[in-house]
Structure 1
Amino acid sequence: MKWFDYRFISAVQATELFYETYIHLYREAFRRNFDAGTATLKRAVPARGLWGNPGEFSAAWRARQVADGFGMPYDFFIRECMEAAFRRGITRVPRPNQLYNLLSMPHLQERWEERRRALPLFSELPQYRVGAFCGLPAQIEHQQWVIDSLKARHARPFAIAQACFVDRLFTFDRAKAEFDPYVVEQMLSEAAGMKADPPPALRATNFLPSCFGLPHACSPSISPCIECHVREECRTAEAKVREKVAQRYGNEKPRDEEKLALNRERVARHRAKKALARTGMSSSGSS
């Protein structure tokens, strides 16, 4: 579901990218809405950063997940959420855990649709170029995204030629299958002199999906894992990761165990208070 730029990086790398983008846009929002002179001095986040404490990491992780759920680029998501917060009357730049306010979500989706219709929007990753195409779901979806976007914008033949012959986002055969013959003829005319830059060399690791090796994320017998080109390698890596986590924390799901322990402590404190209250009532009755 996530935006195409993030489908070949790990969840941790995506969270780090989201956090860096947030810091930049925090200062941008502070400069625009409060004080341009001191905006560059604003730290925007705690001094120890993303890895300073579990709460900070969890907040950024969750906000990044929400952006991924909408399939939006992080800069668009963060900027629009900040602007929506200011329109609601918020007097401070929102923190990561304050970005995804439910009141902002309908407007956020409307703005995203407007953005898609107004300007060309596609990933610049070399994994999506024709020369790197190997039938991955992300590649197929990206090609369809680009073509649907060109059609929705009633793109001129020049823009289609640019996408086909310079950016190399789809083949000429695909263009002939998707667009009107007259448009294709005009596209060929516009393409005179167009030349694509040579694609960079890619390794097999550049095509690993973002979920590769995540604990408990691999389900080889169901979709989308069943179609994945590295499902067996992922299953092996995921088992090793779970083993390492269990060795370090004594449990494959340390956060779940921590929550259970905290819940047990709360229940114990509650029972102790009730017992103390009963003891006090008994003492009062006796006296």
Structure 2
Amino acid sequence: MSHTPFYGSELTVADCEMLALTRVDPALRVAESLLFTRKWFDYRGHHPVQATYLFAHEYAQAVRRAYAQQKDVRKIGDVKGFDVESLFESRELTAMWRARQAFDAIGCRYEYGLDFIMKRFCERGWRVFPRPNQLYAEEVILDVRDAWNAHCKAVMQLAKHERFLAPNFAGHPDQIAYQSWQIAQVKTRGGNRAMLIARLLQEHVLTEQAVAAEFGDSVLAQAKRFVL
């Protein structure tokens, strides 16, 4: 239930701060405090440097997936992609940082948004995959935002990090925000609300206390009857 390790995930806070201070424009760093309350929940525990490494990793994987689907899966091993390890020595660092921030501002999971953009470019006849500086154009990000919102309405989105599991709830602001977000997702859906809540209880997404506080004890009791 936690993130698969990626290059940069083991960096200390001191390491991250050094890279940010020496390699990233101060104007770009200013926005990070606001983004921490907007980005997808799994990324909220990452330093912005780690988040950018993760975004670069997901970008490289999205290019490989797109190549396999649009061109030749047999030659996917030949795809050079993006050199994640050299990110902070790359001329594309600023573009990658800006693209990651654009995704964080709309709360989109990196993998979903990047796959959407790759598909969008291919459908419009592009013969090469978009570079980092093409990922955060306003039109592109607005399309990603709309697609992500529609996807969230169609499919319940669950955080993968174990700190968002109900048994690990400790009242951290990120955990409270996640519970509130899931409750809002429940409210936007029709059908049997108790069955949906039961699923979220069974998967340890919502705490019983959050369900009772928002929907009442009777709905909680009804939901618990559906839990296997």
Q: Bin the TM-score by the shorter chain.
A: 0.7 to 0.9
Q: 1: distance between equivalents of 2:112 and 2:92?
A: 21
1:42 matched to 2:79: yes
- The answer to whether the Cα contact below 8 Å between 2:108 and 2:145 also exists between their aligned partners in 1 is no
- The answer to whether the Cα contact below 8 Å between 2:39 and 2:103 also exists between their aligned partners in 1 is yes
Structure 2 residue corresponding to 1:6, chosen from 38, 43, 49? 43
Q: 1: distance between equivalents of 2:86 and 2:80?
A: 9
Number of aligned residue pairs: 190
CA offsets, 1:39-80, max 9 Å, x none?
Answer: 2320112597424x3413222222111111111111011111
Higher RCO (C-alpha under 8 Å, 6+ residues apart) = 2
Q: 2: distance between equivalents of 1:130 and 1:41?
A: 43
- The answer to whether the Cα contact below 8 Å between 1:85 and 1:104 also exists between their aligned partners in 2 is no
Q: 1: distance between equivalents of 2:94 and 2:145?
A: 24
**Aligned 1:1-287 pairs, distance under 5 A:** 1-46=38-83, 49-51=86-88, 53-154=89-190, 156=192, 157-164=194-201, 166-179=202-215, 183-191=219-227, 194=228
Once the 2 structures are TM-superposed, how far is the Cα of residue 180 of structure 1 from its aligned partner?
Answer: 6.5
- The answer to whether the Cα contact below 8 Å between 2:68 and 2:74 also exists between their aligned partners in 1 is yes
Q: 1: distance between equivalents of 2:156 and 2:183?
A: 10
Q: 1: distance between equivalents of 2:185 and 2:106?
A: 17
Q: 1: distance between equivalents of 2:175 and 2:153?
A: 21
- Decide which structure has the larger Cα Rg and report it: 1
| Alignment gaps of 5+ in structure 2 | 1-37
TM-score of the superposition, structure 2-length normalised?
0.74
Structure 1 38/120 Cα, relative in aligned 2: closer, same or farther at 3 Å? same
Structure 1 180/26 Cα, relative in aligned 2: closer, same or farther at 3 Å? same
User: Runs of at least 4 residues of structure 1 off by over 6 A?
Assistant: none
Structure 1 letter corresponding to 2:169 = F
Once the 2 structures are TM-superposed, how far is the Cα of residue 113 of structure 1 from its aligned partner?
Answer: 1.3
Q: 2: distance between equivalents of 1:2 and 1:160?
A: 24
| Alignment gaps of 5+ in structure 1 | 195-287
Q: 2: distance between equivalents of 1:188 and 1:107?
A: 38
Q: 2: distance between equivalents of 1:155 and 1:39?
A: 43
TM-score of the superposition, structure 1-length normalised?
0.60
State percent identity of aligned pairs.
30
- The answer to whether the Cα contact below 8 Å between 1:130 and 1:170 also exists between their aligned partners in 2 is yes
